[in-house]
Amino acid sequence: MRYNGLNVIWQGLVGNTGWKPAWRTPVPKSAYDAIIIGGGGHGLSTAYYLAKNHGLNNIAVLEKGYLGGGNVGRNTTIVRANYFLPGNQEFYSHSLKLWEGLEAELNYNVMHSQRGLVNLFHSDGQRDAFVRRGNAMAAQGDDAVLLDREGVRELLPYLDYDQARFPIHGGLLHPRGGTARHDAVAWGYARAADRRGVDLIQNCEVTGIDIEAGRVTGVQTTQGPIRAPKVGMVVAGRSGQVAAMAGMRLPVESHVLQAFVTEGLKPVIDHVISFGMGHFYISQSDKGGLVFGGDLDFYASYAARGNLPMVEHVMEAGMTLMPMIGRAKVLRSWGGIMDMTPDGSPIIDRTHVEGLFVDCGWNYGGFKAVPASGWCMAHLMATGEPHPVARRFRLNRFATGDLLDEEGTGSQHNLH
Amino acid sequence: MRITCPLCGSRDRREFYYYGAADYLARPAEGAGLEAWDAYLHLRDNPAGMTKDLWYHEAGCSAWIEVTRDTTSHAVLSSRLVAAVESADLPGRSAPARKKAAPRKKKGTS
């Protein structure tokens, strides 16, 4: 069933009795042309673009839990293309363009809201760095506007402009940046992939990867063995465990990143605000909750929850920047499992096993990459060659030194 | 999370700086190839469960500590001084322990 306004009105008249499940619940076949391990945002978009761009319809997505139950349903929903390094720039630029057409593409309302993102700066040196970044973004074809202090005050009058420690000198506005409804992105891709014949198999955990003579031949799962000549591992924070089934060690350490949401409030924050010096960023969801977060807890973790010192730090940073939020009540907090690479950039590449591909290392920035990651992973799995905009996301770049260190902090696991 | 320092006892996690997996103790021998160095610096088992990692008691006694933890529950199971770790314990090396260079400190931004 296509979703449209007439349908909504019609279903309202007939008591909403005509809605059908958005996707099938298929029994896994014994063999597919390709298997995607992981039914999160990246896995579902990979399956969708394999079917749509490359005509592969006999494929399956294997998800050990439920679709979209991992990081794609547990993030702070920010969509942006404000990267600096060649290699990252063209990738995120491509992703943002896909976001801009995503709702029509998927026939699904992902509530993509380009409300503008402001990165604050607090010194002359930081301003110069943001001027440089803004120029790089503009040269890439994206948008960036340098705001002075008064320009920021016009957009964000509620910030504390009198604080002495981090005086607000201005900000870099990325007008096309914004947010989207995270669950809807997973559901939209799932539904659109299903409509193209992709089998979405939930509660199906991969327990082994079959390799014969250096070639992948299929996977072992809790629902039995499934054969396939091509397998993509798209499992974010769990990449280490899945890759180990293929005898691989990845340049990935999984860390915990916490996020928070308050009770619903009337509209008060119209943009996405990033306060880098305080490791704090915030936006307001369409439901009214203030969604905000900070930095990693900075230790390896799969607990999907963090510790109190970082909670305290994030709250302090928020109060430093905008004291008005002090009366809002935090509704809940949670932790996501972040697949951190040494240089803070992702991996979309072949592996040493023929037919086995890996898409991982999204650090704490995977949500905005969902469309382009799937687009490029699908290209890689279908053609065997990296997509031009993802050509630097190589698995071996730490050995070769061709790093993508966006922050310039060094290539080491605890620095990003 | 509280971490037991072998010298200071149970202390708040905030007193410690996390360095990374205990793989850093198994430094490749002189003349080791690129693969060995890549594995040492970058590749990780990244276990969901029991792990050993290195922490520096920055706001305490300045000792480097190898902590055995559960990454799925944050339980701290045991800890010992890196200085007390015998080279015989380390996988992949048989030469006597070399004096370890001081690791880089994390900068303020991330």
- Which candidate, B93, B85, B79, places its Cα nearest to that of B31? B93
Kindly list the residues from chain A whose CB atom is less than 8 angstroms away from the CB atom of residue B51: 300
Query: 10 Å Cβ neighbour count for A403?
Result: 18
Query: Cα torsion for B23, B26, B32, B36, to the nearest 10°?
Result: -20
- Which pLDDT does position B84 carry in this prediction? 86
Q: Which CATH class is domain A114-179+253-340?
A: alpha beta
Cα separation of A39 and B28, whole Å? 38
3-state secondary structure A79-90: ECCCCCCCCCHH
Burial class (CB in 10 A: 0-12, 13-18, 19+), A119: buried
B45 and chain A in contact, CB less than 8 A: yes
When computed from its CA atoms, the radius of gyration of chain A, rounded to whole angstroms, is: 21
Kindly list the residues from chain A whose CB atom is less than 8 angstroms away from the CB atom of residue B48: 238, 240-241, 254, 302
Confidence label for B79 from pLDDT (cuts 50, 70 and 90): very high
C-beta atoms of B42 and A251 within 8 A:
yes
Tens digit of pLDDT for each residue in A380-414? 999 999 999 999 999 999 999 999 999 898 899 88
Tens digit of pLDDT for each residue in A57-113? 999 999 999 999 999 999 999 999 999 999 999 999 999 999 999 999 999 999 999
Tokens 């809940």 -> residue:
A332
Reported ipTM = 0.92
Tokens 């949401």 -> residue:
A261
Contact between A394 and A402 (Cβ < 8 Å): yes
- Which candidate, A101, A83, A79, A80, places its Cα nearest to that of A140? A83
Quick check: A347 pLDDT over 80?
Answer: yes
Burial class (CB in 10 A: 0-12, 13-18, 19+), A13: exposed
Tokens of A404: 């993508």
Nearby residues of B80 by Cβ (< 8 Å), 6 or more positions away: B6, B65, B66
CA nearest to A239 within chain B? B46
- Which candidate, A233, A191, A180, A220, places its Cα nearest to that of A51? A191
Contact between A168 and A120 (Cβ < 8 Å): yes
- Which candidate, A297, A298, A267, A270, places its Cα nearest to that of A282? A270
- Which candidate, A413, A394, A400, places its Cα nearest to that of A342? A413
**Which 8-state DSSP code applies to residue B28?**
P
Tens digit of pLDDT for each residue in A184-207? 999 999 999 999 999 999 999 999
Q: What is the mean pLDDT of residues B53-58?
A: 97
Please check whether the domain covering A5-76+182-251+345-400 is classified as CATH 3.50.50.60.
Answer: yes
- Which pLDDT does position B95 carry in this prediction? 44
How confident is the prediction for chain A on average, in pLDDT?
96
Q: What is the CATH number of the domain that holds B23?
A: 3.30.2270.10
CB-nearest to B44 from A238, A253, A409 is A253
Please give, rounded to a whole number of angstroms, the shortest distance from the CA of A269 to a CA of chain B.
25
Phi/psi at A62 (nearest 5 deg)? -105, 125
A150-164, A339-353, B27-41, B80-94 — which is least confidently predicted? B80-94
Tokens of A72: 């794609």
* B56 inside domain: yes
Q: By residue range, what is the domain housing residue B61?
A: 2-89
Contact between A343 and A405 (Cβ < 8 Å): yes
Report the predicted TM-score, pTM, of the whole model to 2 decimal places: 0.93
Q: Is A169 left (phi over 0), alpha (psi -120 to 50) or beta?
A: alpha
Query: What proportions of chain B, in percent to the nearest 5, are helix, strand and coil?
Result: 20, 30, 50
Chain centroid offset of residue A315 CA? 24
User: What ranges in A218-304 are assigned the alpha helix state H?
Assistant: 239-244
Give the angle B42-A299-B34 at the CA atoms, nearest 5°: 10
- Which pLDDT does position B110 carry in this prediction? 44
Quick check: B64 pLDDT over 60?
Answer: yes
Domain count, chain B: 1
Phi/psi at A84 (nearest 5 deg)? -110, -40
Quick check: B92 pLDDT over 60?
Answer: no
- Which pLDDT does position B90 carry in this prediction? 54
Please give, rounded to a whole number of angstroms, the shortest distance from the CA of B18 to a CA of chain A.
6
Kindly list the residues from chain B whose CB atom is less than 8 angstroms away from the CB atom of residue A277: 109
Tens digit of pLDDT for each residue in A229-278? 999 999 999 999 999 999 999 999 999 999 999 999 999 999 999 999 99
* B64 inside domain: yes
- Domain boundaries of chain A, sorted by first residue: 5-76+182-251+345-400, 114-179+253-340
Kindly list the residues from chain B whose CB atom is less than 8 angstroms away from the CB atom of residue A398: 38, 41-42
- Inter-chain contacts counted by CB atoms under 8 A, chains A and B: 94
- Which pLDDT does position A290 carry in this prediction? 98
Of all residues in chain A, the percent with pLDDT exceeding 90 is 96
